[in-house]
Amino acid sequence: MKKPIPGIARYDNPAGGWGALRATAKAIRTQMDASDAAVTLLRTNKPAGFDCPGCAWPDKEHTSTFQFCENGAKAVTWEATKRRAPPEFFAAHTVTELLGWSDFDLENQGRLTHPMRYDRDSDRYLPVSWEEAFALAGTVLQAQPDPDAVEFYTSGRASNEAAFLYQIFAREYGTNNFPDCSNMCHEATSVGLPKSIGIGKGTVSLEDFDHCQMIIAMGHNPGTNHPRMMGTLHEVARRGVPIVVFNPLRERALERFADPQDPLEMATLGSTDIASSYHQVKVGGDAAALKGIMKAVLEIEAAEGGALDHAFIAEHTNGFEALKADLEATGWDAIEAASGLGVTALRQVAAAYVRSEATIVTYGMGMTQHATGTSNVQQMANLLLLRGNFGKPGAGICPLRGHSNVQGDRTVGITEKPGAAMLQRIEAAFGFAPPAAHGHDAVAAVKAIVAGSARVLISLGGNLVVAMPDREQTYAAMGALDLTVSIATKLNRSHLLVGREALLLPCLGRTEVDLQGGVAQSVTVEDSMSMVHASRGKLPPASEHLRSEPAIVAGMAMAALPSSRVDWAGLIADYDRIRDKIEAVFPDFADFNTRIQVPGGFRLPLPPTERVWNTASGRAEFLPFRGLEEDPEVSGPAVLKLTTLRSHDQYNTTIYGLDDRYRGVFGRRDVVFVNPADLEALGIEPGDTVELETVFADGRTRRLSGFTAVDYDIARGSVGAYYPEANSLVPLGFHDPESGTPSYKSVPVRLRALPAG
């Protein structure tokens, strides 16, 4: 008999169901210590008014779905907790002491209540007035000889209004340094899709899911990360539509799901099978799998015809012959070896694909966070183009965005590579000439911090240093900065990595009433399907000292830019004025203030849905896969590919709790998931204490010790561990060369048993 491993137990139920309702109730009452107002709000199933900070999946009816969405409820109650981290908390603990706390304990102190300034003598954060805080930021920023020594980081929870003002501030200050969470997330989409189809966004709407005849779901875990998508997948599966899943791990929600909104399933303890077939592709093997499917589509075309949409290919695309030649030159042996999947299975997927007249490909971080991320994304577009799956109902590409407004932040100008048209319109709208030279993305910003050339880091939300690769190296470099400014709701490790001066500025969250001059303001966000809608907080602010993100950005800008051409005070007095400026800079927002009055908002234009291609050639492009030159040492038999994952109880670097229910992990996160055959080959027993070491030739040793090996249903040659704990194994220099996306999901590692201790 197998020896039991502490905290590891099989989870045999479907995802969702009563388990999800119980977990929701527990999260609201105990885990998050939610305020009474938040509980009342979650119980009313009325239009909630504010956009759920949980994920970027759109709402079908614009009513609150929190009651039934476990992780949406956690995201709301995390913000609407009763817990507080007031000045007394900071007086009781030095920054050095807090650095020794876990990420979980830091955020678990609750909401920040006062603006704070770091005091080096006492090694503590002390309260400061907003005016003094802005004056300090202004003085340090004005003293910088080079604006490009300042990094303006954005995390994707910021509203369109906050992000727009932030980029105007940075550009008037003189830099395009915009490291952004999307650089770690869907940058491969933002860079890859414009070259394929002319826009870096998804092309489907929620309605397309009512008409699709097939879904291919690659590298995403919706039961945890996009829970509202489960309702959609559940409906589609019940229509009998094939849902073909590619994922190295068996994720329970993609296998079986009981919809808490389905009274019959709840009453009978029934569930619905989600995946019609489940392909446990090797970590990093998806492009090979896609090439195999496309190769098999061409085989069907040669044998019986009808597999390709010839008219579409002729009228709308370029590069078909080159793609075909590349697929013919790639042998099945190579495809099987790289994907870990058999030719028969891939041919079956191709056969189903050619039967479908409307296919959607959905995907997440399992596709983008690789050194080949951009090219991976383009292979999904290639597959869709072969059968004209753009610009018709029920078809298209569907990247699952991360943060609830990460897509919107990019739309309103958070980009380190600004286009000429946007710069001209900024100049026309505001009367200053913004810089054109390209700035830093997240990898470049962290490299500049490590090299000492960056002098100031301003963060509009997020936890940059913890979220990025090679974090220990950055931890050490942060202290040399002249200033760190963190605009945040809760305390995290990045705030404790203080520069010579440090400010911690507490802001209102999405759920809270934002009053300016006594008038409640609304902000806007853009979801994964390019729908822009208003969001208005309902709850009283966590502290009377909080300011809104737009107000904090404006406060800093006024202090740093005494002769600014921007009417900062006027803009934040009425957010309609910010939206008028957004419209002036981005014509797609025409009639912005009128159109957000409509419940549900409006959709930004998506030319591929009209079969219009804004590429250089004016056509959609087939782009053959660009593989990596693999170092033979890295592909050797003892080297495994590590993928880093989110548990069911976390939001990125925010750890809500230590369980990962659907994967059968309870009360711990220090585990590595390994295929039983790989464990046997390495002479490791399930439950053994192990060490992971990265195989990467840059002279640095990266090791993580004391983890427990868990035998798991994961593809052979692939191992999994939790993010952010495993980030010390990811090399900063190991990223997609085209998009800069770190290769968080294919790190070559060696695994060895440590003596039990």
Ligand X SMILES: Nc1nc2c(c(=O)[nH]1)N[C@H]1C(S)=C(S)[C@@H](COP(=O)(O)OP(=O)(O)OC[C@H]3O[C@@H](n4cnc5c(=O)[nH]c(N)nc54)[C@H](O)[C@@H]3O)O[C@H]1N2
Residues with Cβ within 8 Å of residue 587, at least 6 apart in sequence: none
Site for ligand X in 47-66 (CB under 6 A): 54-55
* Cβ neighbours of 223 (radius 10 Å): 27
Site for ligand X in 106-135 (CB under 6 A): 107
Please state, in angstroms and rounded to a whole number, the distance separating the CA atoms of residues 499 and 484: 6
Q: Strand 15-16 relative to strand 256-258: parallel, antiparallel, unpaired? A: parallel
Please state, in angstroms and rounded to a whole number, the distance separating the CA atoms of residues 258 and 425: 50
Residue 279: contacted member of Mo ion, ligand X, none (CB under 5 to 8 Å, by partner type): none
Please state, in angstroms and rounded to a whole number, the distance separating the CA atoms of residues 743 and 737: 10
The nearer residue to Mo ion, 471 or 547, going by C-beta atoms, is: 471
Q: How far is the CB of 178 from Mo ion (least distance, A)?
A: 16
Burial 362-379 (b: 16+ CB within 10 A, else e): bbbbbbbbbbbbbbbbbb
Q: How far is the CB of 301 from ligand X (least distance, A)?
A: 26
Binding window for ligand X (CB under 6 A); candidates: 21-29, 84-92, 360-368, 533-541: 360-368
Q: Looking at the DSSP assignment, which residues form a beta bridge with residue 272?
A: 257
Binds ligand X by CB under 6 A, chosen from 195, 220, 533, 581: 220
Binding window for ligand X (CB under 6 A); candidates: 301-309, 427-435, 504-512, 694-702: 504-512
Q: Is residue 645 within the footprint of ligand X (CB under 6 A)?
A: yes
Binds ligand X by CB under 6 A, chosen from 192, 509, 731, 748: 509
Please state, in angstroms and rounded to a whole number, the distance separating the CA atoms of residues 107 and 84: 10
Q: Is residue 365 within the footprint of ligand X (CB under 6 A)?
A: yes
The nearer residue to ligand X, 284 or 687, going by C-beta atoms, is: 284
Q: Looking at the DSSP assignment, which residues form a beta bridge with residue 154?
A: 180, 460
The nearer residue to ligand X, 215 or 307, going by C-beta atoms, is: 215
Tokens of 97: 């002491």
Binds ligand X by CB under 6 A, chosen from 7, 745, 749, 751: 745
The alpha carbon of 67 is separated from its chain's Cα centroid by a whole number of angstroms, namely 23
Cα–Cα distances in angstroms (integers) from residue 271 to residues 262, 265, 541, 661, in the given order: 10, 6, 40, 17
Lookup result for tokens 């999800």: 20
Q: What is the 3-state secondary structure (H, E, C) of 433-501?
A: CCCCCCCCCHHHHHHHHHHCCCCEEEEECCCHHHHCCCHHHHHHHHCCCCEEEEEECECCHHHHCCCCE
Q: Is residue 464 within the footprint of ligand X (CB under 6 A)?
A: yes
Binds ligand X by CB under 6 A, chosen from 744, 748, 749, 751: 744
Binding window for ligand X (CB under 6 A); candidates: 119-127, 243-251, 336-344, 590-598: 243-251
Of 588, 181, 587, the C-alpha closest to 368 is 181
Residue 247: contacted member of ligand X, Mo ion, none (CB under 5 to 8 Å, by partner type): ligand X
Binding window for ligand X (CB under 6 A); candidates: 85-93, 177-185, 560-568, 659-667: 177-185
Binding window for ligand X (CB under 6 A); candidates: 242-250, 337-345, 527-535, 695-703: 242-250
Q: How far is the CB of 71 from ligand X (least distance, A)?
A: 4
Site for ligand X in 561-620 (CB under 6 A): none
The nearer residue to Mo ion, 185 or 730, going by C-beta atoms, is: 185
Q: Looking at the DSSP assignment, which residues form a beta bridge with residue 714?
A: 249
Q: Looking at the DSSP assignment, which residues form a beta bridge with residue 526?
A: 532
Q: How far is the CB of 436 from ligand X (least distance, A)?
A: 27
Of 752, 738, 719, 715, the C-alpha closest to 337 is 715
Binds ligand X by CB under 6 A, chosen from 646, 716, 750, 752: 646
Q: Is residue 185 within the footprint of Mo ion (CB under 5 A)?
A: yes
Q: How far is the CB of 52 from ligand X (least distance, A)?
A: 10
Binds ligand X by CB under 6 A, chosen from 248, 399, 439, 541: 248
Compose the 262-301 pattern: x for residues touching ligand X by CB under 6 A, - for all others: -------------------x-xx-x---------------
Question: 662: which DSSP letter?
Answer: G
Q: End-to-end alpha-carbon separation of the chain, Å?
A: 23
Q: How far is the CB of 392 from ligand X (least distance, A)?
A: 26
Tokens of 60: 């079908």
Q: Is residue 535 within the footprint of ligand X (CB under 6 A)?
A: no
Residue 675: contacted member of Mo ion, ligand X, none (CB under 5 to 8 Å, by partner type): none
Q: Is residue 155 within the footprint of ligand X (CB under 6 A)?
A: yes
Residues with Cβ within 8 Å of residue 114, at least 6 apart in sequence: 86, 87, 127, 506, 543, 545
Question: Using CB atoms, what's the residue nearest to Mo ion?
Answer: 402
DSSP 593-651: HHHTTSTT-EEPP-GGGGT---STTSSEE----------TTTTSTT-EEEEEE--TTEE
Q: Is residue 192 within the footprint of Mo ion (CB under 5 A)?
A: no
Binds Mo ion by CB under 5 A, chosen from 227, 366, 402, 462: 402
* Cβ neighbours of 570 (radius 10 Å): 11
Residue 443: contacted member of ligand X, Mo ion, none (CB under 5 to 8 Å, by partner type): none
Tokens of 528: 């994964």
Residues with Cβ within 8 Å of residue 219, at least 6 apart in sequence: 246, 247, 286, 363, 364, 365, 366, 367, 368, 745
Please state, in angstroms and rounded to a whole number, the distance separating the CA atoms of residues 569 and 574: 9
Do residues 284 and 644 lie in contact, with contact meaning Cβ atoms separated by under 8 Å?
no
Q: Is the dihedral of CA 90, 94, 98, 99 positive or negative?
A: positive
Binds ligand X by CB under 6 A, chosen from 643, 675, 694, 739: 643
Compose the 706-725 pattern: x for residues touching ligand X by CB under 6 A, - for all others: -----------------xx-
The nearer residue to ligand X, 53 or 242, going by C-beta atoms, is: 53
The nearer residue to Mo ion, 223 or 402, going by C-beta atoms, is: 402
Is residue 599 exposed (0-12), middle (13-18) or buried (19+ Cβ within 10 Å)? exposed
Q: Is residue 400 within the footprint of Mo ion (CB under 5 A)?
A: no
Q: Is residue 467 within the footprint of ligand X (CB under 6 A)?
A: yes
The nearer residue to Mo ion, 185 or 289, going by C-beta atoms, is: 185
Give residues in contact with Mo ion (CB under 5 A).
185, 402
Give residues in contact with ligand X (CB under 6 A).
54-55, 71, 107, 155, 157, 181, 184-185, 218-221, 224-225, 246-249, 251, 281, 283-284, 286, 364-366, 369, 402-403, 460-464, 467, 487-490, 492, 507, 509-510, 549, 643-646, 650-654, 723-724, 726-727, 730, 744-745
